[in-house]
Amino acid sequence: MQLYLPIAEVSVNAFLILGLGGIVGFLSGMFGVGGGFLITPLLFFIGVPPAVAVATGANQVVASSVSGVLAQLRRKGVDFQMGGILLIGGIVGSASGVWVFSLMTRLGQVDLFVQLSYVFFLGLIGAMMFQESLRSLLRSRKTGAPIRRSHVHSWVHGLPFKMRFRASGLYISVIPPILVGALVGFLAAIMGVGGGFIMVPAMIYFLGMPTKVVIGTSLFQIIFVTAFTTVMHAVTSQTVDMMLALLLILGGVVGAQIGTRVGTRLKAEQLRILLSILVLSVSIKIGVGLVLTPTELYSVAPGGLP
Amino acid sequence: MIRAVIRAAFFAVALAGPALADESIVTGLSQNRVSITADFVGSEILVYGAVKRDAPAPEGSPLEVIVTVEGPAAPVTVRRKERVAGIWINNASIRVDSAPSFFAIATTGPLNHILSDTENLRFDITIERVIRAVGITAEADKAGEFLLALLRVRTQEDRYRVLEGKVELTEDTLFRTDVELPANLIEGEYKVRIFLLRDQKVIAHQERLVGVRKVGLERFIFNLAHEQPLIYGLLSLVLAAVAGWVASTAFRLMRN
């Protein structure tokens, strides 16, 4: 069934969009990532203009995150305190990211900049997670292996402004979460994603949060970051396509519910190794695209040079 | 006797001269308006017409017809990638002041046979003439390549089409052609031009407009997004949040 999208001004197959939303929603619910790093390139691929894809992708992430958070809430998997602190950093980072993004757009290098950020950050985080989870998976197979402590005391725990995070069982300074939030917000604005794929490993490895609350808290935080992004795009460039978003959302919310159920059945190590493989493959795919000789060297973009 | 023949010939020439200008066009379009609805999958415009003459059709060179359909124009930027340190990056670009979003040209025969370059210059018939790129040579040394690339990319996207021989001409009087409009149409006034040619020269031409408009839900969403962007953005969020909540609740009820 073909459907004409009023803002994107292209005609698309409605079932294809529903399916895309479903797959991304499934991954979103399973891993606690918003799925923006998948939905945006997929929308480019089916011919949606990049600006509309980024803005509408953000809107879809809001819906799948709300759906995911509600599922996590019943499992008591959301640390609202930690989410709030992360969000404070997130807004600051996001605002500065938007500024850098518009600077790069003026220079005509925004595509390259976005692609390099994808390759670098996805590659780095994917590789780190893959290595760590592979090691812990192997360790858990061996009987009588030393048990890894839930978190190790480091310089992070010597910082001032300590706060007790009950749901996470942590007593740490608020400075690291604010920094993590700011970094994720910055990258999120630049790459047009929610930033869950950075947030989740940062919470586990840097803040030492238990895996149980990581996904819910990440989703909780992503709701607000992507909501902010959606409204910003709607107001500044009118690129949010409600019709496209609705289709993605319908597929996405259903996928997210199924994903959350599947996610609870898997072990934390398995979940992490799967997410790391997904993140690494997206990174490699984009990296290869940058190196291979393109079939068409020229590209046409609407609008004149500023 | 010979003098009479010469006089007759003179007469014929004298008649043929003005007769060339006496051919004019009467045209019609199957529709003056294209409405984009939610299930819009493209449309087709039938351009038809007849040649009106006060005198019999002149002998000699055949009559030819060119029909162009041109979508709303906008400035575009054409960028070229180059390999720098192993990766492909955009490092040269030109601005084209005005390029139509859609362009189709249908003819009765091969363009270079039926249309001369000077007439093309006068009437801006082909896509190369319709694209306006004033002063781009100052921006890049090989501007021509960029323009060719623009034509190539848009032709691949099926936005620019050359349909040689697709105009049917009957008895040198009636002509018709179908121009397909793609599904990814942009709103605006689409200009339809019809040219009559003899001897590679334009002897008559006419212009008509087809309005392409979004209607119904498409119109409502588009207007809201542009006139009330904040409300639109917030509405999109509410929609997203409600959909998320409904799905979550529905699933919980289904499990219980």
Domains of chain A, residue spans: 2-140+159-291
Residue A92: closest CA among A186, A188, A177, A175: A186
Across the interface, do A6 and B221 touch by the CB < 8 Å criterion? yes
Higher pLDDT, B17 or B198: B198
Give the residue from B236, B239, B251 with the most A CB atoms within 10 Å of its CB, the best one to mutate: B236
User: What pLDDT is attached to residue A158?
Assistant: 65
Give the residue from A13, A113, A116, A242 with the most B CB atoms within 10 Å of its CB, the best one to mutate: A242
Across the interface, do A304 and B75 touch by the CB < 8 Å criterion? yes
pLDDT in tens, B174-207: 999 999 888 878 888 999 999 998 888 888 889 9
CA distance A44 to chain B (A): 14
Which structure tokens are listed for A173? Answer: 């300074």
Q: Which 3 state secondary structure label does DSSP give B48?
A: strand
- Where do we find the tokens 């359909």? B69
CA distance A143 to chain B (A): 37
User: What pLDDT is attached to residue A153?
Assistant: 56
- Cα–Cα distance list, B234 to A49, A234, B37 (Å): 22, 9, 24
Distance CA A225, CA A114 (A): 18
Which structure tokens are listed for A242? Answer: 């409600």
CA distance B68 to chain A (A): 22
User: What pLDDT is attached to residue B13?
Assistant: 44
Angle at A238 between CA A235 and CA A240, to 5 degrees: 105
User: What pLDDT is attached to residue B7?
Assistant: 56
User: What pLDDT is attached to residue B17?
Assistant: 42
Name the strand (E) or helix (H) holding A79: none
Across the interface, do B153 and A296 touch by the CB < 8 Å criterion? yes
User: What pLDDT is attached to residue B106?
Assistant: 92
**Which residue does chain A place closest to B84, by CA atoms?**
A291
**Using CB atoms and an 8 Å cut-off, which of residues 27-86 of chain B contact chain A?**
36-42, 74-83, 86
Mean pLDDT on B127-136: 73
> Is any Cβ of chain A less than 8 angstroms from the Cβ of B180?
no
CA distance B163 to chain A (A): 23
Across the interface, do A298 and B225 touch by the CB < 8 Å criterion? no
User: What pLDDT is attached to residue B177?
Assistant: 92
User: What pLDDT is attached to residue B5?
Assistant: 54
Residues of B in contact with A242 (CB under 8 A): 221, 225, 232, 235-236, 239
In the DSSP assignment, the letter for residue B136 is G
Say how many C-beta atoms besides its own lie within 10 A of residue B4's C-beta.
8
> B225, B142 in Cβ contact below 8 A?
no
Structure confidence at residue B67 as a pLDDT band (50, 70, 90): very high
Of B76, B90, B247, the CB nearest to A108: B90
Q: Is pLDDT of B251 > 80?
A: no
Mean pLDDT on B27-47: 85
**Which residue does chain B place closest to A4, by CA atoms?**
B38
Across the interface, do B149 and A231 touch by the CB < 8 Å criterion? no
Structure confidence at residue B135 as a pLDDT band (50, 70, 90): low
Distance CA A63, CA A56 (A): 11
Query: What residue type is A81 in one-letter code?
Result: Q
Distance CA B203, CA A181 (A): 70
ipTM for the complex? 0.73
pTM greater than 0.90 (yes/no) = no
Across the interface, do B240 and A59 touch by the CB < 8 Å criterion? yes
Give the residue from A66, A237, A239, A243 with the most B CB atoms within 10 Å of its CB, the best one to mutate: A66
Across the interface, do A250 and B187 touch by the CB < 8 Å criterion? no
| Backbone conformation region of residue B23, classed left if phi is above 0, alpha if psi is from -120 to 50, else beta | beta
Structure confidence at residue B3 as a pLDDT band (50, 70, 90): low
Of A2, A7, A246, the CB nearest to B41: A2
Instruction: Enumerate residue ranges in chain A where pLDDT < 70.
Output: 32-34, 108, 141-160, 167, 192, 303-306
Q: What topology is assigned to B23-214 in CATH? A: Immunoglobulin-like (2.60.40)
Write down the domain spans for chain B: 23-214, 215-256
Of B184, B218, B240, the CB nearest to A249: B240
> Can you say how many angstroms the Cα of residue A172 is from the centroid of all Cα atoms in its chain?
25
CA distance B244 to chain A (A): 4
Angle at A58 between CA A273 and CA A46, to 5 degrees: 85
User: What pLDDT is attached to residue B15?
Assistant: 44
Higher pLDDT, A102 or B81: B81
User: What pLDDT is attached to residue A221?
Assistant: 85
Across the interface, do A66 and B245 touch by the CB < 8 Å criterion? yes
User: What pLDDT is attached to residue B14?
Assistant: 44
pLDDT in tens, A18-43: 888 888 888 877 776 667 777 877 88
CA distance B150 to chain A (A): 7
Structure confidence at residue B133 as a pLDDT band (50, 70, 90): low
| Count of A-B CB contacts under 8 Å | 202
CA distance B153 to chain A (A): 7
**Which residue does chain B place closest to A254, by CA atoms?**
B247
User: What pLDDT is attached to residue A156?
Assistant: 61
User: What pLDDT is attached to residue B12?
Assistant: 46
User: What pLDDT is attached to residue B192?
Assistant: 92
The counts of H helices and E strands in chain A are 11, 5
- Cα–Cα distance list, A181 to A88, A117, A160, A202, B205 (Å): 7, 17, 18, 10, 65
User: What pLDDT is attached to residue A157?
Assistant: 62
